[in-house]
Amino acid sequence: MKSHVTFSKQQRHGIFLLITIIVILQSIYFYLHSTNTDVHTNEKELLAFEKEVDSLRELEIAQRIPKIYPVNPNYITDYRGALFGMSTEEIDRLLAFRNQGEWINSVKQFQTVTRISDSLLETIQPYLKFPEWVNSKPRYRSFNNNQPKTWAQKIDLNKATAEQLQQVNGIGKVLSNRIVKFRNAFIGGFIADVQLHDVYGLTPETIDKIMEQFTVKTPKDIIKINLNTAEVDQLVTIQHIDYELAHQIVQQRKLREGFKTIEELKKVKGFPADKIEIIQLYLQID
């Protein structure tokens, strides 16, 4: 053990020197560390940063709040009514009124039906938007009856105005103008009612409502194309048929040695079967 704990004079000097160096280095470290603890901040920059953080937080909170958009009061749902601050009873009164087939045509009538307070009405009134026909004359109330119209009583779809089309439940200014624009894109107008299915945004239910009041009485004159002799350049003039489909039709016709019925087009590769009623308006088989 003596050999391990006994040091020579030279070794003791070395150990002492090493301890001295360690103490000096530790002292320097603590001194530097203590002098760097005082952090100088720019008060103006800190204040600007805090304001920016607060504004971003407020923006995030505002974005989380559901946005309220203008709505026709006749179509207020439970969710929209809750956003307006309406109670369940007030919303139920509105829905019950509408289920009777009645329409709300003024802000005053809306309050009478729902029995909302004056303060709530003042809050939500800017978001109540009635269709243009409510304040215009004449008002076409005949569209609300349940009696089916005869062909003679219906309005010619090729001559109907956007304002007349807006009398159909579900047709607003945008859709009515879109129907008229689509119709006028064809020289002579529509060939048949079925072409309404090509108007973007019209659901089958809405189209049925239109056809209860309108029909094509003056169809566009066309010369039908013979499906069994038509060339590619003729076929591509038909709606929904492009060059690739036209080539497929011609190839299929050769394989079949002619089509027997127009319905056989559904078996052509890539043929839009849901558009066959429109396509067959332009075709015939001799």
Class in CATH terms, 146-215? mainly alpha
Domain boundaries, the chain: 73-130, 146-215, 225-284
Choose the weakest-confidence range: 43-47, 195-199, 269-273.
43-47
Confidence grade of residue 138 (pLDDT, cut at 50, 70, 90): very low
Contact present, 168 and 209 (Cβ < 8 Å): yes
Going by C-alpha positions, the residue among 100, 104, 99 that lies closest to residue 114 is: 104
Residues of the chain with pLDDT > 70: what percent? 85
User: pLDDT tens for residues 216-243?
Assistant: 999 999 999 999 999 999 999 999 999 9
CA angle 216, 172, 101 (to 5 degrees): 90
Give the global pTM. Answer: 0.49
Neighbours of 235 (CB within 10 A): 22
What pLDDT was estimated at residue 73? 82
- Residue with structure tokens 């039906």? 113
Architecture field, domain 225-284: Orthogonal Bundle (1.10)
Instruction: Measure the CA–CA gap between 19 and 15, rounded to whole angstroms.
Output: 6
